[in-house]
Structure 1
Amino acid sequence: MSAPSQSGGATITDRRQLIEYFENACKPPSRWRLGTEHEKFVFEHDTLRPLPYEGERGIQAFLDKLTRFGWQPMMESGKVVALELGRCHITLEPGGQLELAGAPLETIHETCDEIHVHLKQVKEVAAEMDVGLIGLGFQPKWRRDESPWMPKPRYDIMKAYMPKVGNLGLDMMLRTSTVQVNIDYGSEADMVKKFRVGLALQPVATALFANSPFTEGKPNGFVSYRSQIWTDTDPDRSGMLDWVFDDGMGFERYIEYALDVPMYFVYRDGQYIDASGQSFRDFLAGKLPARPGELPTLSDWDDHLTTLFPEVRLKRFMEMRGADGGPWRRLCALPALWAGLCYDSEALDQAWQLCRDFTAVERNALRLEAPVHGLATPFRGGTLQDIAREVVRIARGGLERRARLDSQDRDERMFLDQLTEIAETGITPAEHLLERYHGPWGGSVDPVFSEFAY
């Protein structure tokens, strides 16, 4: 989850400023970049338990040790809660999940190098502390009440609010882990097309990356329980956004949606002020109960947009949010998938032709069924695997035409090899885990912490 904006920004006195917020983010293709974010659980090797925040073997100590690599601490309420280095950040999710929010980079080669350097650093620190790191969509062993809470006031507000609007919001905060990619848009029309393709095909990404079949040591009946959790977290701020496919979709329509999503907080002078359930529309009118008589700034708007959690999220870039966390090599596959689909005009056209006639009923059915059945999800007389094969094929063509080469003259298609295998076999990563659970692991999830740790 994002850190608060560091500057106040201009005061919003005209709704036109909200539109300009998005318009000013439009970039020509030559300036399009990819930002990859991934989370991972940190655990004690001997107990397989999560790390608390404090103590010699805690998250705070882990962050302190990372500063040897040049990372600078970021503080909230006197506690180190994040690190920054250039345009990269290491942040903490509510349950201590460690996230790398990578820099905007031009190629997947650079993204994979960034991830490799990061994992080398965290593995060095982890070895010193006798702890491990693992990427899975949902924590396979710990109960909710065994998960630590990180000392971020923003999370205190969310912790109190989540149970009022859904049953699984606290699980989302404490026990899920994801990988997502942030992509740029060139114009309002380009944004709309990418948004529609992203939403319609997000269940494909969910199935390809499905990697969360266990809860508290047992199979949970899902291949992506992380994805399922979002269906019972907060209906005001998550979901498939059917209206994105309506005529008239654009920046203004997204603004109307965002204004209708209840707020969490206002950030002032290093403090989070509880505004949970209050209206940003009232804030624009100077009538927010938490800050009566005060108008919001563009930084408040930016903060508010980070509290929306649809399958595709629009900010000054677009976030593709449907994938489970996983092993490091698959972390490079997600930006490759979406760059292949969205950063080549021919591929984007092909992807839109593939999904443009999906009905709202079909899109929502895929969203609900993919976390359960993965690539075996029924669809139009076939399965989601049929769509996944075509999606990966289109993405490979897009990456070939992008022709971004590394020092050995290899293009970015190699980062899709794992997804090609998954799409061709129809076997999700979660199903491989379940096969081990019912076979050599003898009905225990504990081996996942050794066999699949970074």
Structure 2
Amino acid sequence: MTTRTDLSASPPIEGRDDLLSVFSKGEKPRESWRIGTEHEKFVYRLSDHRSPSYEEPGGIRDLLMGLTEFGWRPVEENGVVIALAGNDGTISLEPAGQLELSGAPLRDLHQSCTESGRHLEQVKAIGDRLGLGFLGLGMWPDKARSDLPVMPKGRYEIMRRHMPRVGNLGLDMMLRTCTIQVNLDYSSEADMVKKFRVGLALQPVATALFANSPFTEGKPNGFKSFRSHIWEDTDPHRTGMLPFVFEDGFGYERYCDYALDVPMYFVFRDGKYIDAAGLSFRDFLDGKLSVLPGETPTMADWTDHLSTAFPEVRLKSFLEMRGADGGRWGRICALPALWVGLLYSGTALDAAWDLVRHWSIEEREALRHAVPRQALDSPVPGGGTVRDLAARVLDIAAAGLTERAELNAAGDNEGGFLDPLREVVASGKTFADRMLDRYHGDWKGDVRHIYEEYSF
């Protein structure tokens, strides 16, 4: 989740144009498009697989401070280090200590994958010293909520109180999941709309290809991506497939209205988070927010609020692809490769839109609901399965990456980063399927073997 690193004064919102400017100012010419990869991983004690607290010796605080040896700068909240800033972006903490790298905006996938590898090398170096390991999955395979610590970030305390009021699985989302995401640019409002539609319609394909969360508290949970299922019962006011994105006339204005209707979580003032859970940002604009009577929001408040909507694709000053489970290093590189290949080539974008443009709202919703359980075996509109569709999608993405012609020093283009996903389609087995095979086979029902085989 977003960590505020800029605490400087923010201008007040003067009118609706200011709200829309967050989106319009994100427009960039093609040559300035960048790739921002985000990935989370679980932190555990090597000795007993326990999730460490923030304060304990050798825990999360010491991990963050250890990383300052590599040039990362501490970011504090109320005198507590809760994130790090550096040339490779931001390292932040998810609610139960999941460690996230929000990478810098980079030109190509070679740079992005190198950045991820550099980060993981640094994390492992400090982890080895502290006796910590790092697990690349979509959900804790063996931890109950009660087993997990809570990080000292004000917004998380507000969210923990509010989540049970609006859904049954929101606390699982906060405490027990990890994801890989990519942030991508657009050149115009029309370009944003087309990318948003393709990204939203094909998000279930990414969920299936990256499905990696089949266990809950040590047992199979009946899903391939339980992390994806969790989002279906977190908060209906701020999650989902956003049917209005496919309606005529969709653009910045319509997304702005959606975001204004998302209930608030908090307001950040004087270094502290004020609980505004369930209140209306529209009331805030009118100076009628009960927790700050008479006060109106700043642009920073609007940016904060946009980060509290959690649809499958999210618009800020860029587009976030949000459907994938967490995973190990090769999968971290594969997720941006998939979406860059589809969305950063005009030819590929057209081809991808042709695959999904005729689907009805009901068909898109049915696919979204089927994929967490069935993954590659989910039926798709028009016939066939997600496995069949994924093969076509990967071919389109590969062609898009070839068209980009971004080469590394060896002369390779970016298409090789799709190889882990091609293997999933060729074998018909997701990462979840492989773990379930091991669980019922060599592991003999003992999920603890995951720590040996799925750590970084």
Q: Give the TM-score category using the shorter length.
A: over 0.9
CA deviation vs aligned residue, 1:234-260 (integer Å, no higher than 9, x gap): 000000000100011000000000000
Taking the aligned partners of 2:56 and 2:239, their CA distance within structure 1 comes to 36
Taking the aligned partners of 1:352 and 1:408, their CA distance within structure 2 comes to 33
Matches within 5 A, 1:100-119: 100-119=101-120
Taking the aligned partners of 2:95 and 2:327, their CA distance within structure 1 comes to 19
| Alpha-carbon spacing, 1:303–1:87, altered in 2? closer, same or farther (3 Å) | farther
Counterpart of 1:451 in structure 2 is 453
Counterpart of 1:366 in structure 2 is 367
Structure 2 contact 224–372 (Cα < 8 Å) conserved: yes
Counterpart of 1:44 in structure 2 is 45
Counterpart of 1:395 in structure 2 is 397
Q: Aligned partner of 1:363: which letter?
A: R
Quote the offset at 1:17 in angstroms: 1.2
Q: TM-score, normalised by structure 2?
A: 0.98
Counterpart of 1:130 in structure 2 is 131
CA deviation vs aligned residue, 1:281-339 (integer Å, no higher than 9, x gap): 01111111111111111111000000000000000000000000001111000000000
Counterpart of 1:152 in structure 2 is 153
CA deviation vs aligned residue, 1:153-182 (integer Å, no higher than 9, x gap): 110000000000000000000000000000
Q: Please list every run of 5 or more consecutive structure 2 residues that lacks an aligned counterpart in the other structure.
A: none
Q: Aligned partner of 1:13: which letter?
A: E
Counterpart of 1:3 in structure 2 is 3
Counterpart of 1:30 in structure 2 is 31
Quote the offset at 1:446 in angstroms: 0.4
Counterpart of 1:415 in structure 2 is 417
Quote the offset at 1:87 in angstroms: 5.4
Taking the aligned partners of 2:373 and 2:9, their CA distance within structure 1 comes to 43
Counterpart of 1:139 in structure 2 is 140
Quote the offset at 1:424 in angstroms: 2.3
Taking the aligned partners of 1:376 and 1:438, their CA distance within structure 2 comes to 20
Taking the aligned partners of 1:452 and 1:12, their CA distance within structure 2 comes to 47
Counterpart of 1:296 in structure 2 is 297
CA deviation vs aligned residue, 1:350-392 (integer Å, no higher than 9, x gap): 0000110111111111111101001011223311111101100
Structure 2 contact 88–115 (Cα < 8 Å) conserved: no
Structure 2 contact 136–328 (Cα < 8 Å) conserved: yes
CA deviation vs aligned residue, 1:109-154 (integer Å, no higher than 9, x gap): 0001001110100111111111210110010011011110001011
CA deviation vs aligned residue, 1:27-73 (integer Å, no higher than 9, x gap): 01000000000000000112111011112121001111111111111
Q: Aligned partner of 2:384: which letter?
A: G
Q: TM-score, normalised by structure 1?
A: 0.99
Taking the aligned partners of 1:141 and 1:77, their CA distance within structure 2 comes to 33
Counterpart of 1:256 in structure 2 is 257
Among the aligned pairs, what percent are the same residue?
A: 57
Counterpart of 1:384 in structure 2 is 386
Taking the aligned partners of 2:312 and 2:52, their CA distance within structure 1 comes to 29
Taking the aligned partners of 2:8 and 2:234, their CA distance within structure 1 comes to 30
Structure 1 contact 8–298 (Cα < 8 Å) conserved: no
Structure 1 contact 88–101 (Cα < 8 Å) conserved: yes
Q: CA RMSD in A?
A: 0.8
Q: Aligned partner of 1:389: which letter?
A: A
Structure 1 contact 392–423 (Cα < 8 Å) conserved: no
Q: Aligned partner of 1:314: which letter?
A: L
Q: Please list every run of 5 or more consecutive structure 1 residues that lacks an aligned counterpart in the other structure.
A: none
Taking the aligned partners of 1:304 and 1:207, their CA distance within structure 2 comes to 29
Aligned pair 1:212/2:202, yes or no?
A: no
Residue correspondences, number: 454
Q: Aligned partner of 2:228: which letter?
A: S
Runs of at least 4 residues of structure 1 off by over 6 A? none
Larger displacement relative to structure 2 (224-233 or 372-381) = 372-381
